[in-house]
Amino acid sequence: MQTIYYDLRDTKGQQKEIEDKISAAAKILREGGLVGIPTETVYGLGANGLDGKAVKRIFEAKGRPQDNPLILHITGPQWLPRYCADIPPIAYVLARKFWPGPLTMILKRRAIVPDETTAGLDTVGIRCPNHPVTLAIIREAGIPIAAPSANTSGRPSCTTAQDVLEDMDGKIEGVVDGGACAVGVESTILDLTCEPPRLLRPGGLPLEDLERLIGHIDVDKAVTTPLQEGEKPKAPGMKYRHYAPKAPVTVMTGAPGAAAREIQRRVGPTSGVICFDEYAHLFAQQEVHTLGPSTDKLAQAQRVFDALRTFDESTVTEIYAQCPDNRGLGLAIGNRLKKAAGFHIVETDSQRVVLGLTGGTGAGKTSALRAIAELGGTIIDCDAVYHKMLEENQELRNAINEKFPGVFTAEGKLNRQKLGQEVFAKKDRLEQLNAIVYRFLLPELERQVAELSDGLYAMDAINLLESGLDRLCDKTVAVTAPMELRVRRIMARDGITEQYARLRISAQKADEFYRGKCDEELTNSAETPEAFERDAKLFFTRMVESLREEKRHGGV
Ligand code: TXA
Ligand code: MG
């Protein structure tokens, strides 16, 4: 099929010629064809939204999953009652204020809208785009246009007609060039079928603008955190790894300077970097695409997809991306970058978060700590702090010497074996030793934690709860696992018999102890350490995100 290109970048020229092009595009759409159309957000791939057969072709051209519904594009609120039922008054309030513009409303659908458009849902997404050419085409066609973003599924959205041709040439009847998109990220999707309304996708219209008009809006958790396996987002499209360049992406959140330094620490000669203009000079060795100035979110929104798309023709082995904060358009820009990264995010930022991890042997505490390290977190090794204190802290040494005479040699070295024998299998002696150690360790760690800079930290302490160190943590996490899995893991890890593995476990506290005393539980029933680390990363990403959110609002 030949894709006809209609140049409508300049609509001030020959009026007849312009009208002809608009009529031609409208005719293709009326007759069941597909046309790439400009909007203020991103280019759409349009078809007659009331014609199930035409809509089906959109899915084929994009390679789009069948369960992902499309947005209907209309010319204004007067068309709403034709396609939507039970329209709440607030929909008109919003439409009057923000249409034409980057706001999609989810409303109950009427039967006239075919299942192909809504992917079988009883709701429909509907919006009035702010682009004179596309509004003229819809008016001329006299039908609502179903249009997803015009990219091949899984690629970054198209912000120019050239992008559309790159993905769709030969697969669709026409492309209308209306110039580069002014906004650059897709519309904001707001579900009005629930109370309070719910933000399903952040986009070109900032959440703050919406809340100023209609009050509190719930933010769907798919906006800021990755979905867990089997979890269904309210906007089906949010579950797909959109906007994915070929090389894996890591997003650095945090103050721009700190994020840039963290990227600098990680890059090699084959890395690619997406950064704010001010930091481009730091990456002379790398392929760099800039997002615009760190203070200009409109520029960042316009460029974010282009930056991701440009890396598709590149041979970089990984990409590091700077990310704006969540205010204004930043929520949408960050969401697109994070989705491109499969939510692989390194927090270089913001407030300090200290997690405390504990759990019995073989449950997976070590893997969980590794997951935190991979998220950019720092592990506080309390055992190492204790050993250093044993060498350097005279008061601690005196206190031990008093209760355990003879465990220090004449040269002042601790005879660990002797101390071990003293407390091994003697519960009261062990308790005496622990009481001394905790008395000194707790204030020392308290001092250390107070001096930590912002960032993520995890406390690795054998007796986190018993020692009182849990009080220094924002949240404590019990790492637990089914007994049989633990037995198998310890046998494999330490090369011991089943009987001995069971003995080791039974000598420790039961999972119930940790479960009852910790704020949260992370259960490790994964088949492999890698699978568990993946689970753990999601778990901690969510936990840190919500902790920071709480802290921002002064909750913690
Ligand atoms: O700015 C935009 O919205 C662009 C331009 C072309 O208008 N369109 C766009 O469409 O981004 P698309 O298909 O790429 O994304 C539509 C999103 C998907 O995540 C889809 O799951 C969600 O909207 N959606 C559509 N109808 C829905 C419904 N009834 N309920 C929940 N989510 C819906
Ligand atoms: Mg899309």
> 272-294 pLDDT, tens per residue?
999 999 999 999 999 999 999 99
Confidence category of residue 229, pLDDT binned at 50, 70, 90? confident
Distance 332 CA to ligand 2 centre (A): 13
Residue with the smallest CA separation from ligand 1 atom 17 is 237
What is the structure's pLDDT at 147?
98
Ligand 1 atom, smallest distance to 44 CA: 6
186 lines ligand 1 (CB under 6 A): yes
pLDDT (average), residues 444-473: 88
Confidence category of residue 307, pLDDT binned at 50, 70, 90? very high
- Is the pLDDT score of 554 beyond 60? no
Written as one letter, the residue type at 522 is: L
121 lines ligand 1 (CB under 6 A): yes
Confidence category of residue 241, pLDDT binned at 50, 70, 90? low
148 lines ligand 1 (CB under 6 A): yes
d(CA 468, CA 316): 47
Distance 190 CA to ligand 2 centre (A): 16
d(CA 365, CA 149): 43
Closest CA to 311 of 388, 240, 244: 244
Residue with the smallest CA separation from ligand 1 atom 15 is 148
What is the structure's pLDDT at 555?
43
What ligand has the least distance to the C-alpha of 192? 1
According to CATH, the superfamily of the domain at 4-212 is DHBP synthase (3.90.870.10)
Distance 254 CA to ligand 1 centre (A): 29
- Is the pLDDT score of 104 beyond 50? yes
d(CA 510, CA 515): 9
Give the mutation target among 71, 115, 124, 157 for probing the ligand 1 site: most ligand atoms within 8 A of CB. 71
Give the mutation target among 41, 64, 68, 153 for probing the ligand 1 site: most ligand atoms within 8 A of CB. 68
More confident residue, 222 or 125: 125
Residue 138: strand, helix, or coil: helix
236 lines ligand 1 (CB under 6 A): yes
What is the structure's pLDDT at 315?
93
pLDDT (average), residues 133-145: 98
pLDDT (average), residues 473-501: 93
Distance 151 CA to ligand 2 centre (A): 7
Confidence category of residue 350, pLDDT binned at 50, 70, 90? low
d(CA 50, CA 116): 9
d(CA 240, CA 64): 10
* Residues flanking ion ligand 2, Cβ below 5 Å: 149
335 lines ligand 1 (CB under 6 A): no
What's the topology of domain 352-551? Rossmann fold (3.40.50)
Confidence category of residue 548, pLDDT binned at 50, 70, 90? confident
Ligand 1 atom, smallest distance to 157 CA: 14
According to CATH, the superfamily of the domain at 249-347 is Threonylcarbamoyl-AMP synthase, C-terminal domain (3.40.50.11030)
- Beta partners for residue 184, in sequence order: none
pLDDT digits (tens, 9 = 90+) for 361-389: 889 999 999 999 999 899 999 999 999 99
Confidence category of residue 394, pLDDT binned at 50, 70, 90? very high
Looking up tokens 């010629």 gives: 17
pLDDT (average), residues 475-500: 93
pLDDT digits (tens, 9 = 90+) for 87-98: 999 999 999 999
Distance 148 CA to ligand 2 centre (A): 6
Distance 202 CA to ligand 2 centre (A): 13
222 lines ligand 1 (CB under 6 A): no
Ligand 1 atom, smallest distance to 147 CA: 6
Q: Which two tokens stand for residue 180?
A: 């580069």
The chain-wide mean pLDDT, for the chain, equals: 92
4-212 and 352-551 have identical folds: no
DSSP state of 460: E
d(CA 145, CA 51): 10
pLDDT digits (tens, 9 = 90+) for 426-452: 889 999 999 999 999 998 998 888 778
pLDDT (average), residues 149-167: 94
What is the structure's pLDDT at 246?
82
What is the structure's pLDDT at 552?
61
**In the chain, what percentage of residues exceed pLDDT 90?**
75
Residue spans per domain, the chain = 4-212, 249-347, 352-551
Residue with the smallest CA separation from ligand 1 atom 18 is 237
pLDDT digits (tens, 9 = 90+) for 176-214: 999 999 999 999 999 999 999 999 999 999 999 999 999
Give the mutation target among 35, 104, 145, 242 for probing the ligand 1 site: most ligand atoms within 8 A of CB. 104
Residue 185: strand, helix, or coil: coil
Q: Which two tokens stand for residue 198?
A: 């719910």
134 lines ligand 1 (CB under 6 A): no
Confidence category of residue 397, pLDDT binned at 50, 70, 90? very high
Distance 225 CA to ligand 2 centre (A): 18
36 lines ligand 1 (CB under 6 A): no
What is the structure's pLDDT at 228?
75
Using CA atoms, how far residue 284 sits from 270, 271, 272, 273, 288, in Å, is 12, 11, 11, 10, 8
Would you tell me how many other CB atoms lie within 10 Å of the CB of residue 541?
22
**In the chain, what percentage of residues exceed pLDDT 70?**
98
129 lines ligand 1 (CB under 6 A): yes
Alpha helices per DSSP H over 415-522: 416-423, 427-451, 483-494, 498-506, 511-517
pLDDT (average), residues 17-46: 98
188 lines ligand 1 (CB under 6 A): no
Confidence category of residue 43, pLDDT binned at 50, 70, 90? very high
Closest CA to 473 of 529, 556, 374, 366: 556
